[in-house]
Structure 1
Amino acid sequence: MKAFLQRKGIEPSFHQYVVKALSFMALGLFSSLIIGLIMETVGEQLVSPFYEPAGEALISMGQLAMDLSGPAIGIAVAYGLGAPRLVLFSALVSGAAGGELAGPAGSFLAALLSTEIGKLVSQETKLDIIVTPFVTIASGWTAAMLVGPPIGEGIRQFGIFIMWATEQQPFIMGVLVAVLMGLALTAPISSAAIAFMLELEGVAAGAATVGCAAQMMGFAASSYRENGVSGVIALGLGTSMLQIANIAKNPRILLPPTLAAAVIGPLTTVVFVMENNPAGAGMGTSGLVGPIMTIRTMGTEQFVWFGIISLQIVGPALVSLLFSEWFRKIGWIRPGDMAIEKS
């Protein structure tokens, strides 16, 4: 059996089903729902006031992209799991079914289960072109019907609890949400996928945004002497996951941005009361999605702009830089510890 599963490319493991599959789910989300939200927001807020036809076009494109998020997740997860061609294409239907019945979490589960089941029958019969899509779609639809709704609802309820707890204890939860979501962003686990499955909104999403931004802007500022301007762009607007290899060598370099998240998180929930949506909650400053989604959620008032600049960009960079300089002085961080490879 083990040899058969290996031949089929099926490797049941935490890394395969959580780390890898969630990471590819996030790519599917970004290529549909998140970019759609960005296009719609830019069309509404920035383009329509000056040239309405172009703004309407962007809004229409964005809405179409958002409507196709389920199929995009299905294909992304199947691709990430190394699905054969017929399984890959059929996973589009699995993702659509899961999304319709249980949202992003349903798309993920339906695509994951149908991909692995589809692999089992792929190229096993002379009627592969019929059998493989049939089995993949049927298993995806069944998973979407039976497994997706209860699991999706359970995850959603947990997200509701997090948002409720953040409103009841904004200081404590501001620290916890910011720190944990920031760590998820830097770790090889998709914070974007987590935010969408939990359906984080409101001040909890605001704290999550700041936590993710703290990792990105924190590492960008802390490692400036090693990585320069290109590092600021790669880490601050790209991803703090570029530091994973360095974290493995010296875990203490993770402390400055994490402490920055702990400091600024409660400022977000208690003092500024910044809000966001699921798309911004798990992205931080990557592609400026966090700030853009903050504007979408809260509007374009001066207070919002001040909150974005101070809490998502400047604040995390300064706090992390201060901690990193202290750690350099006491020898916890050494020269070159945060240098990233130049491609």
Structure 2
Amino acid sequence: MSENKINAKEFISKILTGMSIGIVVALIPSALLGELGKALNINAIVEITKMASNLLTIVMGLCIAMQFKMSPIQSGTLAITTMIGSGALKIKDNVIQFAGMGDVINAGITAALAVLLILYIGDKLKAYTMLCVPTVVITLIGFTGLEMLPYVSSITKYLGNMVAAFTTLQPVLMGIFTAVTFAVLIVSPVSTVGVAMAISLAGIGSGTANLGICAAGFGLAVAGFNVNGMGTSLAHILGSPKMQLANFVKKPTMMLPIVANAAVVGALGGLQKIQGTPMSAGFGVSGLIGPINHLNIVGYSTGNLITTVIMFIVAPLILSFVFKYLFINVLKMVKEEDYLIEFK
């Protein structure tokens, strides 16, 4: 690993970029093929893509290690430590089990602490590096991560309570607040699925939450299309907008067109009574999970199919172009370069 010192801004940028890339790698297979595997009853696809999702935090740790050009020993140590800190692994009856993807926020904090310790140790241990780095970092930082986990996880619980309060509002207002909240959450380290499951978000609340994620996916794809190209842009829609995590932290104003988009589609979703379940909330249009679950509730009539296509695809897509023009060309509050994804 390079001995060059880095400043705080560069350090945080590398952590966030590694997290973003890891999230894309682990979640894209499930987003693209998970629901298709269920529909076609191909259990192997469902199980494999679920395995990939559950390995999110260990992949995230490896991607962060690559940002810092770590050695194989350091990279493996960071990957294991990150996963331990996420809380994704539980021991029951002496058997290690996956408890979902874990807490991504705590995983990121744990990874940052581990990187700092690894950078501090550097090559000081020389021949003892192989023995000491994994032992010291995994046990010390892994333990610290697990101790922090309950406190960091309370952030998700707090957000869940806030969203739960929205469900008591009139449908249009509920739709606006829920859609905007989930549009922002899907670009943050917070798990939208975790928030939805924590409060059993269902009905119009779940439906408009998905519309907010659609607004984020289409909005980010359109806003950054000229700098990211077709493939990366589609990944925002078919995969996860979380790949914009690093850009979001560096320049939060890049979310202004997305928030505006989410507010409009959320209001329309409240009027149209777009539905969902706790399991479907948090996915948006990726894997067609949001649209399929809405149709499962309201029925597959021609009218419902047309409404679903308009609400989940047409409306957020058209509004993405409208608000891109407004905020980039007219108000000049954001630039296309704010959405650039750099895979390096």
TM-score calculated relative to the size of structure 1: 0.67
Q: Which has the higher helix share?
A: 1
Query: Following TM superposition, by how much is the alpha carbon of 1:262 offset from its aligned partner in structure 2, in angstroms?
Result: 1.2
TM-aligned CA distance change 1:69 to 1:216, over 3 Å:
closer
Q: Take 1:21 and 1:305, find their aligned partners in 2: how far apart are those partners?
A: 42
Matched letter for residue 196 of structure 2: L
Matches within 5 A, 1:263-274: 263-269=264-270, 271-274=272-275
Q: Take 1:36 and 1:321, find their aligned partners in 2: how far apart are those partners?
A: 28
Matched letter for residue 50 of structure 2: Q
Query: Following TM superposition, by how much is the alpha carbon of 1:34 offset from its aligned partner in structure 2, in angstroms?
Result: 5.1
TM-aligned CA distance change 1:222 to 1:138, over 3 Å:
closer
Preserved contact between residue 158 and residue 198 of structure 1 (Cα < 8 Å): no
Do residues 112 (structure 1) and 109 (structure 2) align? no
Query: Following TM superposition, by how much is the alpha carbon of 1:196 offset from its aligned partner in structure 2, in angstroms?
Result: 4.7
Which protein, 1 or 2, shows the higher relative CO under an 8 Å CA cutoff with sep ≥ 6? Answer: 2
Query: Following TM superposition, by how much is the alpha carbon of 1:141 offset from its aligned partner in structure 2, in angstroms?
Result: 1.7
Matched letter for residue 24 of structure 2: F
2:18 counterpart residue number: 24
1:100 to 89, 110, 126: 89
Identity across matched positions, percent = 18
Partner deviation per Cα, 1:273-305 (whole Å, 9 max, x = no partner)? 333668973x755xx44x345536874952775
1:200 to 193, 196, 201: 196
Matches within 5 A, 1:268-283: 268-269=269-270, 271-275=272-276, 281=282
Partner deviation per Cα, 1:151-173 (whole Å, 9 max, x = no partner)? 12x12212321331231235435
Matched letter for residue 132 of structure 1: V
1:163 counterpart residue number: 163
Structure 2, unpaired ranges of 5+: 91-101
TM-aligned CA distance change 1:319 to 1:221, over 3 Å:
same
RMSD over aligned CA atoms reads 4.4
Preserved contact between residue 117 and residue 139 of structure 1 (Cα < 8 Å): no
Q: Take 1:124 and 1:171, find their aligned partners in 2: how far apart are those partners?
A: 60
TM-score calculated relative to the size of structure 2: 0.67
Query: Following TM superposition, by how much is the alpha carbon of 1:64 offset from its aligned partner in structure 2, in angstroms?
Result: 2.4
Question: What is the count of residue pairs matched by the alignment?
Answer: 303
TM-aligned CA distance change 1:320 to 1:31, over 3 Å:
closer
Do residues 144 (structure 1) and 145 (structure 2) align? yes
2:260 counterpart residue number: 259
1:295 to 288, 292, 297: 292
Partner deviation per Cα, 1:116-154 (whole Å, 9 max, x = no partner)? 2122112111211112222221233212321122212x1
What secondary structure sits across from 1:200 in the alignment?
helix
2:317 counterpart residue number: 317
Matched letter for residue 207 of structure 1: T
Q: Take 1:269 and 1:280, find their aligned partners in 2: how far apart are those partners?
A: 15
Matched letter for residue 160 of structure 2: I
Do residues 43 (structure 1) and 37 (structure 2) align? yes
Query: Following TM superposition, by how much is the alpha carbon of 1:260 offset from its aligned partner in structure 2, in angstroms?
Result: 2.8
TM-aligned CA distance change 1:77 to 1:66, over 3 Å:
same
Q: Take 2:220 and 2:57, find their aligned partners in 1: how far apart are those partners?
A: 33
TM-aligned CA distance change 1:97 to 1:216, over 3 Å:
closer
Matched letter for residue 151 of structure 1: V
Q: Take 1:91 and 1:40, find their aligned partners in 2: how far apart are those partners?
A: 28
Matched letter for residue 300 of structure 2: Q
Query: Following TM superposition, by how much is the alpha carbon of 1:199 offset from its aligned partner in structure 2, in angstroms?
Result: 3.2
TM-aligned CA distance change 1:141 to 1:266, over 3 Å:
same
Preserved contact between residue 114 and residue 140 of structure 1 (Cα < 8 Å): yes
Partner deviation per Cα, 1:94-113 (whole Å, 9 max, x = no partner)? 12312226533333332222
Please say which of residues 193-202 and 115-124 is displaced more in the overlay: 193-202
Query: Following TM superposition, by how much is the alpha carbon of 1:259 offset from its aligned partner in structure 2, in angstroms?
Result: 2.8
1:89 counterpart residue number: 76
Structure 1, unpaired ranges of 5+: 1-5, 49-54
2:49 counterpart residue number: 62
TM-aligned CA distance change 1:206 to 1:83, over 3 Å:
farther
Please say which of residues 170-179 and 294-303 is displaced more in the overlay: 294-303
TM-aligned CA distance change 1:81 to 1:184, over 3 Å:
farther
